[in-house]
Structure 1
C-alpha cells in the first residue's frame, strides 16, 4: 500500500498502475528504506499475475557460494547432506520475482542472471535438466546502476535487460507533507489507533531529514508507542536527535511571540521545505496565494526584536529575519 497524496506519490502510483498492466521487466531505484519492495508488491498486485506467487530475494544478504542455489535451485545429493530444492525462479513461476539490491551481485552472478533473463530457463546446481520458467522480474537497487556501469561494477548488457522500465521512488524528505498520513498508517498497522500524536511531535517529525526514509519513520513510531507512558506521543517520546532539533528550533526563536508571528515562521518553514515553490506551499498549507504573501510580508517587516517595523524606522545594518524557523504548528 503506497501511502500519501503528495504530487510525487500521486505520480508514483500513476506509474505503477501503467507499468503493472504490462509484462516488462522493471528496475526500481531509490534510497534504502524508501519503499522499493512496496512498489514491487503493488506492481504485482495490480498485474495479470496477481494470483501467482510474489517471491522476494535480497541479493545483498547471501554469500556468493549460496546465491546460485537460491536463484536457480539445487539437485538432490549434489553434496553430502544437501536436499534438492527449487530456486527462486522456479518458485516464482507464473508470478513475480523481486530481486532486491541487484547492484550487489558479483560479476559471476550477473553473468548467470543475464543468461536466465535471456532464455527464461534455469538449470539447477548439480543438474543437467533445463527448467523453463514464466516469471516477471522486478529488480531494485539503492546504488544507482548506471553509475556502477560507468565504473565497471555492473554489466551494461544486464543493466539494459533490467531497465526496460525505470521507476524512481522518492526519498521521504521530498514528500514530507505525507508524514501525517504515514503516521496514521503506522498507528493503524500497529493496532494503536487510540494513540494520539501531538502537533508539536508531528512538527518535529516534519522537520527531520529522514536518512532512513519511510522505514525509519515506522521504527520511530514503534519506539514512541513502546516508550510513551500515556496514549499521547509528544516530542519527549521521540529519539533525541529528532527531539533536540525540534527544541532547538523553538528556543532559538526570539522576539514577537504572537500567533501571527509564529504562523509566519511556520509558513516560511513550509516554503523552504517546498524549495521555494509558492504554489506547492499554498497546496500544503491549504491557503490562498494572497494569504501566503501576507504571512511572508509580515516576516520581512519584522525587526530583529520581533515587533513589526513602523513607518520611519530604519532596519539596523545587517538585521536579518530571525533565527531558524520554528517547528510549531499554528
Structure 2
C-alpha cells in the first residue's frame, strides 16, 4: 500500500482560500473538529487510485482523539460550481439514516477556466470495507442470512433517500453499485456517495452497473432500482456485475429463460443449507424485476423493500 505523509498538491490548492478565494469548503457540524490542514498533514494509506478518483484511509490525530476516516478525492472535468456542490451536499446531509453513510465533511476547490474541479469527501471509516471487496474475496461465513440482511438494509436506506430527496428534490443516487456499499464492524450496510454523480457526468461511471437506458431524469430513481437489482444478483450468484465484459443481469436472465435457474446461485448458499433454495428463487424474482429493460416496469424501492421484508419474515417463521 502506498504511504503518504503530506498531500502536497492538495495542501497547496485547498489551503489558500484566504489568498486566492478559489477554494470553498464546508466541514463537519462542528467545524473545529475536522480541519482541512489537520487532514492533509496526516499520514494516509492509498486504498485505491484512478484517473478521476482515489480513496485514502487517514488517521487524524486532532480529530476525536485520533479518529480514522476515509477520504475520497474526485476530479471532475465538467463539474457543478463550487457553490452548487456545497449547496447540494448540505441538502443531502440533512437526510440522515443508519444505512446511509453521510460525509463527515466535504471540501471543494473551484477551478480556473479549463481546469478540473477537485472535491474531497470525508467519511467515517467502515471496518469491513466495501461489499464489492467482500464478494471479491468470498469471505467465509458470508452466508444466506448475512446476504439477505445486507440486501434488506440497502433497500431500507435507499427507500428512505428516494422518499426524502429523490421524490421531493429529484436527486437520485446515480451510481449505485457494490463498491459504494460499505460494511461496519457489525456488518451493517451503509450506502455511500448518494447524489454525487452529476447527471451528465459519465467519466466516473465507466465501471458502474447502470441500466442500458441511461440515467437521465425522470427515470433516475428507476436507474437506482436497476443498480440495486445488480447488487442483489451479485449477492445471489457470488459473481460481480459487468466484470471482464460480462453483463451479469443479461447472463442471469438468459439462464432463467432456459429454465436452468439452479445454475444461477452461488454454490456455497445451496451447499450450506439446501432448504434456502425457495427463498433464493424468491429473491431472484425480485432482482429480475429490478433489472427489467424498461424503467417504467421496474418497481419502486419502497415496493422492493416490502418484498424483501416478506422473504425475511418467511425465513423467520421456518
TM-score, structure 2 normalization = 0.28
TM-score norm. by structure 1 comes to: 0.27
Q: Which has the higher contact order (CA 8 A, sep 6+)?
A: 1
Decide which structure has the larger Cα Rg and report it: 1
